Amino acid sequence: MNKLLPIASALLISSFASSAIADDNYQGHRVGIGYSWTQLSSISNSDYRLSTDYGDGIKVEYGYDFNRIVGLNVSYAQNNEDWYFGKLDGSNFQIDSDIGYAFLLNGFDIKPYGAIGLSRINEKFTYNSGASDKSSETSLALGTGVRMGFDFGLYADLRANIVLTEHVDTEQYSFTVGYRF
């Protein structure tokens, strides 16, 4: 996983360099809030394989569009889940670059995109007995999504991410609504 961090950094830097050649009329900040849900895609070792729901919660995000092609995103999402043997409290802080193209239509735009960045996942599991476990990890995050914005500033974003952690891959989905200014 440590070999992927320099690659992700190089891709982020190169995506910002491409902003110099794209149209600058699409620049601006955006702030949104929404709903996120998380799943573990698999837990594997020699004894078992499991895929499970890993909670849902609120997501807040800030973004900046450099142009119609490249944007920067910073987000925080929490996920909570109650199981019969305990409770999970998790959070995800992510910074990434989205790369796509915003198609300008009559009164709105739509931007399908891919994203690459880094994600910091923190989780605390509290067992019914009162014992607890904590873990944190920073990993590569890959995503895809589509963002629709209206000329008067409102936008909606539907997104899917996969965070490639050391022991398990985490799938995160979100829907946010916000304002672009």
Full set of structural domains in the chain with CATH:
4-180 (2.40.160.20)
Cα angle vertex 166, ends 164, 167, to 5°? 105
Q: What is the rounded CA–CA span in Å between residue 64 and residue 28?
A: 6
Instruction: Tell me: pLDDT of 2 over 60.
Output: no
Average predicted confidence (pLDDT) for the chain: 84
pLDDT (0 to 100) of residue 21 = 44
pLDDT band at 11 (very low <50, low <70, confident <90, very high): low
Q: What is the rounded CA–CA span in Å between residue 90 and residue 66?
A: 31
Q: Residues with Cβ < 8 Å from 10, sequence gap 6 or more?
A: none
Largest distance between two CA atoms of the chain: 59
pLDDT (0 to 100) of residue 43 = 57
Give me the residue label for tokens 């829907």: 175
- Cβ(75)–Cβ(59) under 8 Å? yes
Q: What is the rounded CA–CA span in Å between residue 48 and residue 43?
A: 8
Instruction: Tell me: pLDDT of 81 over 60.
Output: yes
Residues forming a β-bridge with 10: none
Q: How many residues does the chain have?
A: 181
**What mean pLDDT is predicted for residues 161-167?**
86
pLDDT (0 to 100) of residue 127 = 85
**What mean pLDDT is predicted for residues 94-110?**
95
pLDDT band at 14 (very low <50, low <70, confident <90, very high): low
